[in-house]
Structure 1
Amino acid sequence: MEIEVVEGDIAQQQVDAVVNAANRAMRGGGGVDGAIHRAAGPELLEDCKRRFPKGLATGDAGWTTAGRMPARWVIHVVGPNRNAGQTDRSLLTSCYRRALEVADELGARSIAFPLISAGVYGWPKEDAVDAALETLRGTPAQVERATLVAFGRASYDLIVSRL
């Protein structure tokens, strides 16, 4: 799988599937989650309510349609909230692994990831990047291209330096 990095808006990526860093309730939120819900429109929230009536567990992934975004699907993952005491790194790597598994189930060949848990959930950015790259490189998948979408130049430079 080819791994690339871009700086930009994850909701505007021209890929088969966009990964959403969701919260357990699956009803929208701030950061990446809010940006994706705004870009996709109300159809996304309705699909989340229908497909995930009880939400989604930390470390797991599930999919919905992408509404008004260029992508075909949104793959929702729930990363660990380090600020709430969730420090198990395997929950973070599980998000990337499970997203690739869901992408394979859908037949997605291109996927865009944010840095999961590295924003308001407080995971150290360097380790978030390393967890992403290790898992993307070490997980067999039919996905041909994984794009890490950096929010801001500092995140972009950090990812490039570790790529």
Structure 2
Amino acid sequence: MIRLTRRAALAFVTTVAFAGLTAAPSLAAAKIQRLVSPGGIEAWFVQDATVPLIAMEYAFGGGAAQDPADKPGTANMVASLMDEGAADLDSKTFHERLERRAIELSYNAQRDAFRGSLRMLKDHRDEAFDLLRLSLSQPRFDAVDVERIRNQVLSNLRRESSNPSSIASRKFLEVAFGSHP
């Protein structure tokens, strides 16, 4: 008869339970399709029927490298404002609609791309895609939102100016790439 200590028995049970949890996702293999629109837009469609969630990531060429020399931070500011109201929805109303349906919509500007992300439960896809469409085609850029976001950006820049990781990252990019965008 094998006699296990309490610690060994706990380790065995934990290992078996963990193995069962990690094996479960492999039972529902995701389908992946490469799609290309008539206009040449490429998309990768990944479908997993086990989760009632739609998640979408998208990017447009451009980004911070295309900021005017005399207006650095333009792409970052635009990205920060894209979910601050659209069409006839002010920022508060726009965010209330997102929150009411647990829709996550965000934008960010990188060096060479302008990116967006959208996540929602399948049941709320119509409203989520409507809000995405409005934010892309009819952003508001209300003065009060521009000033609030500008203050947030300035606060982040002040914090990053004394953050060792941020300083090291900027210095690396400067040494590695010089003035190249």
- Tell me the TM-score normalised to structure 2 length: 0.23
Q: Radius of gyration: which is bigger? A: 2
- Tell me the TM-score normalised to structure 1 length: 0.25
